[in-house]
Amino acid sequence: MSDSPRQTIVKGGLVVTARGLERADVLIVDGVVAEIGSFESGHDDADVLPAEGCYVLPGGVDFHTHMDSVFRGSIRTADDFATGTAAAVAGGTTTIIDFCRAAPGETLAEALDQWRRRVVEQRPWADYGAHMVLVQPDDDTLSQLSSLPDLGVTSIKMYLAYPGRMMSDDRALLRAMQSAAASDLLVLVHAENGHAIQVLVEDALSAGHTEPAWHAKSRPTVTEAEAVSRSAVLAQLAGARLYVVHVSSAAALSEIERARATGTDITAETCSHYLVFDDSMVDGVPKEVASRFVCSPPTRDLDDQNALWEALGHGTLDVLSSDHCPFALQGEKIVEGDFTHIMNGLPGVEQRLAIAYQGVVNGQYSMERMVEFVSTTPARLAGIHPKKGELAVGSDADLVILDPHATTVLSAATHHSAADYLPYEGMEVAGRVTRVLLRGTTVYVDGSVLPENRQGTYLHRSASHQPTGETR
């Protein structure tokens, strides 16, 4: 072994950079992009990875995943950071931003320390960072928010849904937004009106409606739109930067546009499943089938679905995330009792890029635009750009080679998640991720993750930066 730097050339691909699409070679030295150009000679020691006929993209950044998370007191998501990030890299995502939540009596710093130890023990495949979850925070907790940036956490997450479990009231939300604004933290909000939904659920159950479809029917789009509008008003009062997670409806998109027009600093994501599934997946089908698609907010109708595709294209939506949150089929998704006992959440971290690429194939948006919302913009918002989310000299060599001439069949039989089912089962999509590099090292190739190259590390995030606004 010599001490000369480790060199790799990704050769002849169609590379997506900030300048657009260009046919080029990417020279990687010691895990970092050293040059993008044409290298016929002079690098005889380099490993050459052929990419002719393929796209070469910056690794995906998933801004919203739930690995190894416990909900409703004791039910753990199907994936931990090992299986969940194996799924991520297999799907072309090399960075995830997950969630840390303090236990009662724990400080935010202690919670993050515990979270980081746990993730290291699970040896993730992808690089990772954390959002800090707050539930009805008290003054003591709010006083700790100023400590987060030094710990590498530059965002908080709050819920307007799930009263009694996760929900914060408007006073707590506004106080948290004020503290967040003072410390330059991005505020993520789950925007659904929890109390209104509680009333509609009570009414549905007392009328004898127990089937999974009533999960969706008790969460109509107006309950989402109202919560988006309210969060935007409070964010503007506080001077806070707001990010709306998992936008699912045209009604919510209208509220985002309205808030943006009045000067609110608001960004938003949708998630892959809302682009593929509609309410027919849960309505008028057997309980065993419908339960597989239960998530919050629920999947909507085809008009909403079309509006989300368009909003990704024209920029009302800034980011596509997965909200990867799988649960076991028997006992957690398919349950004995009524729809309120179904665990909310779907897998998707491995399928997010594949689904996004269908929009390129179908002419919804360009390849460059897709890279913005699956990689560049989430990296900016996470405060890890241009190290992540960009193919440029000096960036981490997180690369995805995507073969546009091949196809992929999405299936639980071949996915890398520990989830025991896949809502996309059997769906054939254009394109195939053939190889993925994390900091210059191949972590996934031709269907397999490479155990010897497992090296995910914690990302110390800076203050986040909004997208430039060029798109919208």
Residues making contact with Zn ion (CB under 5 A):
323
**In the complex, what is the shortest distance from the CB of residue 326 to Zn ion, in angstroms, rounded to a whole number?**
12
Phi-psi region of 342 (alpha: psi -120 to 50; beta: other; left: phi over 0): beta
Q: Which is nearer to Zn ion, 265 or 323 (CB)?
A: 323
**Is 188 or 370 the residue whose CB approaches Zn ion more closely?**
188
Residue with smaller CB distance to Zn ion, 25 or 332: 332
Helix intervals (H) in 16-126: 81-90, 108-122
Q: Smaller CB distance to Zn ion: residue 87 or 436?
A: 87
Strand locations in 311-398 (E): 319-321
Give least dist CB 190 to Zn ion, A: 7
Question: In angstroms, rounded to a whole number, what is the distance separating the alpha carbons of residues 177 and 315?
Answer: 25
Nearer to Zn ion, 255 or 323 (CB): 323
Per the omega criterion (within 30 degrees of 0), is the bond before 104 cis?
A: no
CA atoms within 13 A on the CB side of 358: 14
Task: Report, in Å, the least distance between residue 47 CB and Zn ion.
Answer: 38
As measured in angstroms, the least distance from the Cβ of 35 to Zn ion is: 39
Cα 328 from Cα 74, distance rounded (Å):
13
Query: For residue 158, which phi and psi values (nearest 5 degrees)?
Result: -130, 155
Q: DSSP letter for 458, please.
A: B
Q: Would you say the C-alpha torsion 433, 435, 441, 443 has a positive or negative sign?
A: positive
Smallest distance from Zn ion to CB 31, Å: 31
Q: Which is nearer to Zn ion, 65 or 441 (CB)?
A: 65
Closest CA to 122 of 456, 440, 445: 456
Least separation in angstroms between CB 92 and Zn ion: 20
Is beta strand 75-76 parallel, antiparallel or unpaired with respect to 70-71? antiparallel
